[in-house]
Chains A and B, each alone.
Chain A
Amino acid sequence: MELDALLLSRLQFAFTVAFHILFPAFTIGLAAFLAVLEGLWLWTKRDAFKVLYLFWVKIFALSFGMGVVSGVVLSYQFGTNWSEFIRLTGGVIGPLLAYEVLTAFFLEASFLGVMLFGWKKVGPKLHFLATVLVAVGTTLSAFWILSANSWMQTPQGFQIMADGTLEATDFMQVIFNPSLPTRLAHMLLAAFLTTGLVVGAASAYQVLKERAKGTVTGWTESRIALVMAVGLVAVLAPLQLVAGHASGVVTHEYQPAKTAAIEGYWESRADQPLHLFGIPDRDAQKNHFEVSIPGIGNAIQGLPRETVIKGLNEWPREDQPPPFIPFFGFRIMVGLGLLMIGLGATGAFLIWRRKLFETPWFLRFCVVMGPSGFIAVLAGWMVTEVGRQPWVVQGVLKTRDAVSPVTTGEVATSLIAYILVYSVVFTAGALFILRLMAEGPVAGAAEPGPGQDRAPGSPLVKAPADTTPGDA
């Protein structure tokens, strides 16, 4: 492939969106977790919930900040690099993005200030309301961006005008397009699972540390958080399998080429096999080193055996999605999803037998699974976005016709600039977060003693230890 503005713009979009998605994937769930913790604290008046809130809100502040700044990049990148996409489809997709700003971004940004810095300025109930509104904002944001992206997968409710631009004929059809419900459910569950796995890993690490010290008994903060996280994964991971399957059914109906790429099907036929492994080869139009189970491919799609499932060679080569990334991305995502189900089920069993804190191998498994939500989210997004190629709006506008009239030099410059800036920001941010996690909620929540360098802007300082609910 030629290294032109198109390819570089695609690489840049992939890089910046992949970086960005990590933060919403984490903060959507974390905002809700914080709202639950603060609600539990107000309700039960147990200090442990406050300690946990104050600990996780610091990690939230760091992650949210990185999410905000990387998100601003995306809202401008539609124009800098994909101006033809906006020129042609802006009349349809634009209002969805505008509604995201109006309903979600202002809500999140404004109440985040109160959430982080308002402890002594507003009462506990108002503070709780701020936390809840931030959580609502993150979810609304997910709704609108998923609506816009789902419309790109399953466009409807529009017409193409004489000058080539698109106009909506029915905005309700645009917003509530066929793939929105399943994809939104799939993404929100993914976000909650990602948070659950991170909270679980950080807490399991602390429980392991407590074990090493010995003599720790009772409900420590980390133990409470671990049970909450494992419980969440136990419930949501199986649900995610259902949501993912439902999303796959919609994909097969509207984007059969994507399904073919995911499954590694080249030939259309009834009674497709299930390919567990293979190396899809576009030039040869077949898979190498296939490991397959015959006779169950249709059942996996929820289809009768005699239904014909299309293979990639139904489409001319230039209209086929490149199958390598969808094929492997899907297997990575599903593999991790199954491990999550295993984690949840085992954890639930151990909680029931009251052995959770006495099973070191499981605690270590929780630690190892910490980043698995992020990896699954990234893999899943690559599946769905690469699987839509060569289209940017399925069946309507090709990616190569969506790019801006900018020079290769400009895009190369910006790509290098983003890589440099993001490397510094991501490394620093990840380090701060991991350092906090290593310290744990108890050490992290302790007030710095006199003479110690306290962090003046940190959320922690806003809620000194003597703050109790009811004391305004």
Chain B
Amino acid sequence: MLDLPLIWAGLIATAVLLYVTLDGFDLGIGILFPFAKSKEDRDVMMNTVAPVWDGNETWLVLGGGGLLAAFPLAYSVLMPAFYLPIVLMLAGLILRGVAFEFRFRARNRGRKFWTQMFATGSIVTALSQGLILGGFIQGVTVENDRFAGGPFDWFTPYTLLVAAGIVAGYALLGGAWLMMKTRDNLHSDARRWTLISSAAVGGLLAAVSVATLLVHPRIALRWGFDTSAAMAIDWAALAPLLAIPALGLAGFGVVVVMARRGSHHWPFVGALLVFLSGYIGLAASFMPYVVPYAFDFRQAAAPENALGLMLVGTVLILPAILGYTAWVYWVFRGKVDTESGYHH
């Protein structure tokens, strides 16, 4: 028999990872928008993602819809728990999303307004996602299968730190994406942005990691740190997990070294490795919880027949989705510079 809840936990985790990396660079471009030197640069920046952002955002819908369908109990607890940051995120996504079309339709003042909304929407979205992630790591209060905490549980110094980390992380992805997709002056700017944000991400990721160990003894224990006693370290638990931060460090190394050597593609790969290590680190800290620290993925799973029905469709359709998504990226491969260069 297939272990359906496990498969679905894996699928949703993959959808969220794909969302974070794919929409991560879209949002990163919005975050970097205020630093662009000219209207033409902003046009090019937007054009590098205009054909693909909608597909990228769909992974968020799959993450949310998949959670609803595969783990309805988790969905019904987490959504009310993060009510306000989710509303904030949706408001940000609306403003960011319509800005793609509106900015090109608007004239003078309207264009300025939608330029600002593109940046604001992207930053607000990234911040809210960081607050949600921080709140998720903190854990959610549950009674009788329902959310039972307060409306501002997600607002703490810890979650703010995580939110700052996400903003910097998306900026890193966006910068590295632009290095790959642009030329000349904009490419040089993108390289500078990438290097600055990789330093910021490095610092924030380290700070978040330390804070997580200090604030959340449960996670610390899993990593082999007994923070209750006098900092006893259980090397047997820690040693295998050290591969995760090592992957992250390797990612940073690739970003910095390759950017300095003038590579256009490797910094993006490095940024992806940084995200992957952060993501696996989180997964290792939480498994098997889908609602920390109330439900594991088995407790929250939908009935077997629902999971089975969806798996049939997923096995048939997901390869097609991945296939045509890859095709679309291939169609729009290569550098984007001035608009004429973009269309030929």
Selected contact of A119 from candidates B76, B103, B332, B343, CB within 8 Å: B343
Chain B residue numbers with a CB within 8 Å of A98 are 62, 65-66, 68-70, 310, 313
**Contact, CB under 8 Å: B69 / A79:** no
Chain A residue numbers with a CB within 8 Å of B68 are 75, 78-79, 86, 90, 94, 97-98
Selected contact of B65 from candidates A68, A80, A97, CB within 8 Å: A97
Chain A residue numbers with a CB within 8 Å of B234 are none
Task: Provide the bound-state CA to CA distance between A61 and B79, in Å.
Answer: 30
**Contact, CB under 8 Å: A410 / B151:** yes
Proximity bits, B53-73, A CB within 8 Å = 1, else 0: 011011011101110111011
Chain B residue numbers with a CB within 8 Å of A105 are 58, 61-62
Proximity bits, B97-110, A CB within 8 Å = 1, else 0: 11011111111001
**Contact, CB under 8 Å: A428 / B110:** yes
Q: Does A458 contact B (CB under 8 A)?
A: yes
**Contact, CB under 8 Å: B310 / A95:** yes
**Contact, CB under 8 Å: B313 / A103:** yes
Q: Does A116 contact B (CB under 8 A)?
A: yes
The smallest C-beta distance from A60 to any residue of chain B, in angstroms, reads: 10
The smallest C-beta distance from B19 to any residue of chain A, in angstroms, reads: 12
Selected contact of B72 from candidates A86, A410, A464, CB within 8 Å: A86
Proximity bits, A87-118, B CB within 8 Å = 1, else 0: 10011101101111111011101111110111
The smallest C-beta distance from A190 to any residue of chain B, in angstroms, reads: 24
Selected contact of A110 from candidates B151, B313, B324, CB within 8 Å: B324
**Contact, CB under 8 Å: B61 / A101:** yes
The smallest C-beta distance from A150 to any residue of chain B, in angstroms, reads: 18
Chain A residue numbers with a CB within 8 Å of B303 are 91, 167-168
Task: Provide the bound-state CA to CA distance between A417 and B88, in Å.
Answer: 8
**Contact, CB under 8 Å: A87 / B145:** yes
Contact residues of B between 88 and 102, Cβ < 8 Å to A = 88, 90-91, 93-95, 97-98, 100-102
Chain B residue numbers with a CB within 8 Å of A406 are 80, 83, 151
Task: Provide the bound-state CA to CA distance between A59 and B104, in Å.
Answer: 13
Q: Does B46 contact A (CB under 8 A)?
A: yes
Given contact pairs A80-B80, A114-B331, A406-B151, A458 touches B104 in the complex (Cβ within 8 A): yes
**Contact, CB under 8 Å: A457 / B50:** yes
**Contact, CB under 8 Å: B43 / A456:** yes
**Contact, CB under 8 Å: A432 / B105:** yes
Question: Which 7 A/B pairs are nearest by Cβ-Cβ distance?
Answer: A90-B72, A79-B79, A94-B69, A113-B51, A87-B76, A83-B76, A98-B69
Proximity bits, A411-431, B CB within 8 Å = 1, else 0: 001100110011001001100
- Interface size class on chain B is 35 or more
**Contact, CB under 8 Å: B151 / A409:** yes
Closest to A464 in B: B343
Given contact pairs A79-B75, A79-B80, A417-B91, A113 touches B101 in the complex (Cβ within 8 A): no
Given contact pairs A72-B93, A105-B61, A406-B83, A79 touches B76 in the complex (Cβ within 8 A): yes
Q: How many of A's residues come within 8 Å of B, CB to CB?
A: 77
Contact residues of B between 15 and 58, Cβ < 8 Å to A = 43, 46-47, 50-52, 54-55, 57-58
Given contact pairs A62-B105, A79-B64, A83-B147, A95 touches B328 in the complex (Cβ within 8 A): no
Q: Does A269 contact B (CB under 8 A)?
A: no
The smallest C-beta distance from A423 to any residue of chain B, in angstroms, reads: 12
Task: Provide the bound-state CA to CA distance between A460 and B110, in Å.
Answer: 20
Task: Provide the bound-state CA to CA distance between A407 and B50, in Å.
Answer: 38
Task: Provide the bound-state CA to CA distance between A103 and B103, in Å.
Answer: 30
**Contact, CB under 8 Å: B64 / A114:** no
**Contact, CB under 8 Å: A86 / B55:** no
Chain B residue numbers with a CB within 8 Å of A107 are 324
Taking each of B77, B80, B100, B148, which has the highest tally of chain A beta carbons within 10 Å of its own beta carbon?
B80
Selected contact of B343 from candidates A83, A111, A413, A462, CB within 8 Å: A462
**Contact, CB under 8 Å: A425 / B95:** yes
The smallest C-beta distance from B88 to any residue of chain A, in angstroms, reads: 8
Given contact pairs A91-B72, A119-B343, A413 touches B84 in the complex (Cβ within 8 A): yes
The smallest C-beta distance from A167 to any residue of chain B, in angstroms, reads: 4
| Interface 9-mer from B199-207, B249-257, B314-322 | B314-322
Given contact pairs A65-B97, A457-B50, A83 touches B77 in the complex (Cβ within 8 A): yes
Task: Provide the bound-state CA to CA distance between A99 and B318, in Å.
Answer: 11
Q: Does A70 contact B (CB under 8 A)?
A: yes
Task: Provide the bound-state CA to CA distance between A464 and B340, in Å.
Answer: 11
**Contact, CB under 8 Å: A168 / B305:** yes
Q: Does B210 contact A (CB under 8 A)?
A: no
The smallest C-beta distance from A73 to any residue of chain B, in angstroms, reads: 5
Chain B residue numbers with a CB within 8 Å of A121 are 331-332
**Contact, CB under 8 Å: B69 / A106:** no
Task: Provide the bound-state CA to CA distance between A375 and B98, in Å.
Answer: 24
Taking each of B75, B147, B306, B321, which has the highest tally of chain A beta carbons within 10 Å of its own beta carbon?
B306
Chain B residue numbers with a CB within 8 Å of A263 are none
**Contact, CB under 8 Å: B95 / A116:** no
Task: Provide the bound-state CA to CA distance between A461 and B338, in Å.
Answer: 12
Given contacts A86-B72, A95-B306, 6 further A-B contacts (CB under 8 A): A80-B79, A90-B68, A90-B76, A110-B321, A165-B72, A168-B303
